[in-house]
């Protein structure tokens, strides 16, 4: 691989205020193509808010979020997904009463060429067929095909996480945002997930930006780490740099005044 | 396994054909003896019309998860458009004898199918306009707003300024009726068929995604507003069609026909049938409409052994009906069908379970 870094995601001086509360205070960061980058920080640091600013759920109070050089200001979440940013949620948000297959199939519609008339009158058979084949392929790749007729909410927790990632992949993203993908997982599951993230990054040529609390996972696979505390970026760098940064240690361990 | 599967398919096909034959047979029989069975025919026709509007309401409420209560308003639009276009030109002076007829519509007429479709389109266009502000609201607020708009539509229709078009509070009469029960049947089957195709298409899946989780749906690239608007407009289109059918069925309408209580009736059908089940709505339409008629016997004075029982008087039937509804809602809280659709497997499974239960009790 050549060393020219192509910038995929860029946040410049992003501020997000809710009334008098400043959830994010001047956050600037960059994610380059093909990287796995982690955003860490104590609870309430503003990590998920940062994700919500990127995906258009919130519009930042000030500052610029851009994706491949395109300013995302004023774009709705569905537009942003269309541009190639997919995400998962901290508390899993599947279409609970639908089957595993339908969950993924719905996401496939994003890139379909049909309209409500052709779809209703079944004039879009080619498109429908393509969506179904792609869904089947994706589910097979993710080892979820056996479960395709199960109702999403009936799956065990770990599989629901996997399905949510599969569904995000179905939108054919370039940038995948994972919000605490390992939440609630035991060490073995976390290890599997770690390998899985690297695998899908390589397989689908993704850039991954994730929020995570499991330090094992973060330290193992992140090329770069950003640390957020009370809405402010307090450190950035490689995993070694972060591990030895006194400010980070203080934020996490709540260091005392006279330390 | 494979063999078993194809046999099941064959069985289902045979049973489907049988069901169609039975329905056609019943309709044919009623049509042939329409003077003896006019009462039964009217119940069945009304049920079919309600089935169309119930399915259209289910499309919005059950499949897209929008609690909309505007159905009666859209039915009114469809009904008035259909009526205005189909009342024979020769009879119009006698219909509009009080305030006269607006010259714009005096000679405007259209064949029935076209009139119904235009009625649907007017309702859909109105829904598209209403939807822009209203669909940004959620749950109860949406219900109240749509209910309000339905009343506004009704009030506009009854307004004195509209007298030369809608004939104000006198209503419209001399609307040509259905030529036969088959006409109703075809219109019903086509309307519901189109909605079923929509629900099972990729757009139907998007509706369900919005119902399940709006934020996740957006994250999957679904535009919330467009999807909701689409569902709302299509639902209103079919509500308009069913309104037109109701006008033809009743042959005379006025704005009171389309009061809020009509919306509640439809909502009742949807809830009884099962929110999110098309076959449930159809079943619910027949159960509710027929049930209300069959219970008429409670309205008549009853004398047992020379003693007249005081409860049996006009209005008592609605008490019984309400009690039955409560029973249904209490014991089948998800409606008769839940979110399931009718299938022969379901029917056989139901009886098999029953038989098992009986056996278990016998032991």
User: Domains along chain B?
Assistant: 38-362 (1.10.3470)
CB contact under 8 A, B205 and A105: yes
In a domain, A89, yes or no: no
Tell me which of A137, A164, A191 is where a domain ends: A164
Q: How far apart are CA B81 and CA B120, in angstroms?
A: 9
Pair A178, A259 in one domain: yes
Containing domain of residue A50, as a range? 1-84+173-259
What's the domain count of chain A? 2
What per-residue confidence (pLDDT) applies to B295? 81
What does the pLDDT read at residue A259? 39
Q: Is residue A144 part of a domain?
A: yes
Question: A122: which chain B residues are within 8 Å (Cβ-Cβ)?
Answer: 197, 201
Whether A96 and B205 lie within 8 Å, measured CB to CB: no
Average pLDDT over residues B316-342: 80
pLDDT at A51: 92
Q: State the smallest CA–CA distance between residue A171 and chain B in angstroms.
A: 7
What are the strands, taking DSSP E only, across chain A?
A: 7-18, 21-32, 36-40, 62-67, 70-71, 85-87, 175-179, 207-211, 224-229, 232-237
Å between B189 CA and nearest CA of chain A = 15
* Judgement on whether residues A190 and A229 belong to the same structural domain of the protein: yes
Measure B255 CA to nearest chain A CA, in Å. 33
Contacts of residue B235 in chain A, CB cutoff 8 Å?
none
Find the closest chain B residue to A84 by CA distance.
B221
Which chain B residue has its CA at the smallest distance from A131's CA? B202
Of A120, A140, A164, the one marking the end of a domain is: A164
Task: Please indicate if any CB of chain B lies within 8 Å of the CB of A116.
Answer: yes
Residues A155 and A177 occupy one common structural domain: no
The enclosing domain of A49 has a CATH number of 3.40.50.300
Q: Which candidate, A189, A74, A204, A188, places its Cα nearest to that of A138?
A: A204
B206–A87: do the CB atoms touch at under 8 Å? Answer: no
Mark whether A258 and A178 lie in a shared domain: yes
**Is A224 in CB contact (< 8 Å) with chain B?**
no
Same domain, A25 and A68: yes
B206 touches chain A (CB under 8 A): yes
How much is the pLDDT for B198? 94
Q: What mean pLDDT value characterizes chain B?
A: 87
Q: In terms of domains, do A150 and A22 share one?
A: no
Q: Are residues A3 and A80 in the same domain?
A: yes
**Shortest distance, CA B121 to any CA of chain A (angstroms):** 15
Integer CA distances (angstroms), B122 to A177, B75, B102, B118, B234, in order: 44, 10, 19, 6, 11
Domain's final residue, options A111, A133, A164:
A164
3-state helix, strand, coil in chain A (%, to 5): 40, 25, 35
Write the ipTM: 0.88
Please check whether residues A177 and A253 belong to one and the same domain: yes
Q: Which residues of B touch A98 (CB under 8 A)?
A: 205, 208-209, 212
pLDDT tens digits along B214-231: 999 999 999 999 999 999
Q: Do B208 and A105 touch (CB under 8 A)?
A: no
A44 and A4 both lie in a single domain: yes
**Tens digit of pLDDT per residue, chain A (259 long)?**
445 678 889 999 999 999 888 898 889 999 999 899 999 888 888 899 999 999 999 999 999 999 998 899 889 999 999 999 999 998 899 999 999 999 999 998 888 888 888 888 888 888 888 899 999 999 998 888 888 889 999 998 888 988 999 999 999 999 999 999 888 888 888 888 899 999 999 999 999 999 988 888 888 889 899 998 888 888 888 888 888 888 888 877 665 444 3
Same domain, A119 and A245: no
pLDDT at residue B242, as a whole number: 96
Q: What is the pLDDT of residue A253?
A: 67
The per-residue pLDDT for range B3-52, each reduced to its tens digit, is 566 777 888 888 889 989 998 999 888 888 888 888 889 999 999 999 99
Let me know whether A17 and A78 are in one domain: yes
Whole-angstrom distance, CA of residue B187 vs CA of residue B113:
9
With an 8 Å Cβ cutoff, is A134 touching chain B? no
Answer whether A129 touches B (CB < 8 Å): no
Same domain as A100, residue A45: no
Name which residue leads in pLDDT, B327 or B192.
B192
The dihedral built from the CA positions of residue B299, B304, B306 and B310, taken in this order, carries a sign that is negative
Q: What is the pLDDT of residue A257?
A: 47
Distance (Å) from the C-alpha of residue A123 to the closest C-alpha of chain B?
Answer: 11
Query: Could you please report the per-residue DSSP string of B316-353?
Result: HHHHHHHHHHHHHHHHSTTTTTTT----HHHHHHHHHH
B213·A95 Cβ contact <8 A: yes
Asked if A113 is an interface residue toward chain B (Cβ–Cβ < 8 A), one would say no
**Length of chain A as a residue count:** 259
User: In A, which residues are within 8 Å of B222 by CB distance?
Assistant: 78, 106, 109-110
């Amino acid at each position: 691989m050549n060393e020219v870094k192509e910038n995929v995601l860029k946040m410049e001086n992003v501020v997000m205020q809710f009334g008098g509360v400043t959830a994010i205070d001047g956050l600037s960061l960059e994610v380059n193509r093909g990287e796995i980058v982690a955003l860490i920080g104590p609870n309430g640091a503003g990590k998920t808010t940062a994700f919500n600013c990127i995906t258009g759920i919130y519009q930042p109070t000030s500052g610029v979020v851009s994706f491949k050089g395109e300013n995302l200001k004023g774009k709705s979440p569905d537009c942003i997904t269309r541009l190639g940013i997919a995400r998962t949620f901290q508390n899993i948000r599947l279409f609970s009463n639908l089957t595993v297959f339908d969950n993924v199939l719905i996401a496939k519609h994003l890139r379909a060429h049909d309209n409500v008339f052709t779809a209703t009158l079944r004039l879009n058979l080619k498109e429908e067929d393509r969506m179904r084949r792609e869904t089947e392929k994706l589910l097979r790749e993710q080892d979820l095909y056996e479960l395709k007729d199960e109702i999403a909410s009936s799956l065990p927790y770990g599989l629901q996480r996997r399905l949510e990632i599969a569904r995000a992949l179905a939108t054919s993203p370039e940038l995948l945002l994972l919000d605490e993908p390992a939440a609630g997982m035991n060490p073995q599951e976390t290890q599997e997930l770690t390998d899985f993230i690297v695998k899908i990054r390589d397989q689908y040529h993704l850039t991954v930006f994730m929020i995570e609390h499991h330090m094992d996972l973060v330290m193992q696979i992140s090329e770069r780490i950003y640390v957020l505390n009370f809405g402010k970026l307090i450190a950035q760098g490689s995993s070694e740099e972060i591990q030895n940064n006194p400010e980070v240690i203080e934020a996490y361990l709540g260091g005392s005044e006279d330390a | 396994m494979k063999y078993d599967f194809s046999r099941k398919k064959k069985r289902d096909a045979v049973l489907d054909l049988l069901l169609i034959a039975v329905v056609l047979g019943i309709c044919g029989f009623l049509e042939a003896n329409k003077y003896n069975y006019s009462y039964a025919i009217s119940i069945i026709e009304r049920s079919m019309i309600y089935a169309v509007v119930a399915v259209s309401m289910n499309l919005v409420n059950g499949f897209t998860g929008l609690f909309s209560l505007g159905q009666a308003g859209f039915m009114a639009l469809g009904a008035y458009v259909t009526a205005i276009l189909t009342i024979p030109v020769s009879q119009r002076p006698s219909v509009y004898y009080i305030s006269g007829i607006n010259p714009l519509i005096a000679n405007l007429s259209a064949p029935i199918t076209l009139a119904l479709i235009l009625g649907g389109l007017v309702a859909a266009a109105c829904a598209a306009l209403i939807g822009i502000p209203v669909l940004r609201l959620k749950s109860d607020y949406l219900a109240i707003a749509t209910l309000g708009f339905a009343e506004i539509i009704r009030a506009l229709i009854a307004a004195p300024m509209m007298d030369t078009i809608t004939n104000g509070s006198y209503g419209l009469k001399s609307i040509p009726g259905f030529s036969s029960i088959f006409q109703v049947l075809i219109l019903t089957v086509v309307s519901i068929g189109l909605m079923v195709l929509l629900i099972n298409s990729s757009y139907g899946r998007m509706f369900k995604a919005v119902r399940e989780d709006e934020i996740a749906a957006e994250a999957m690239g679904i535009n919330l507003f467009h999807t909701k608007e689409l569902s709302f407009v299509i639902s209103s289109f079919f509500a308009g069609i069913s309104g037109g059918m109701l006008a033809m069925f009743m042959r005379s309408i006025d704005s009171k026909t389309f009061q809020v209580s009509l919306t509640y009736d439809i909502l009742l059908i949807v809830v009884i049938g099962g929110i999110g089940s098309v076959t449930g709505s159809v079943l619910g339409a027949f159960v509710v409409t027929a049930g209300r008629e069959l219970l008429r016997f409670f309205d008549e004075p009853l004398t047992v052994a020379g003693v007249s029982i005081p409860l049996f008087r006009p209005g008592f039937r609605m008490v019984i009906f309400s009690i039955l509804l409560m029973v249904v809602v209490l014991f089948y809280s998800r409606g008769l069908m839940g979110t399931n659709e009718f299938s022969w497997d379901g029917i056989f499974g139901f009886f098999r379970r029953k038989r098992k239960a009986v056996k278990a009790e016998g032991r």
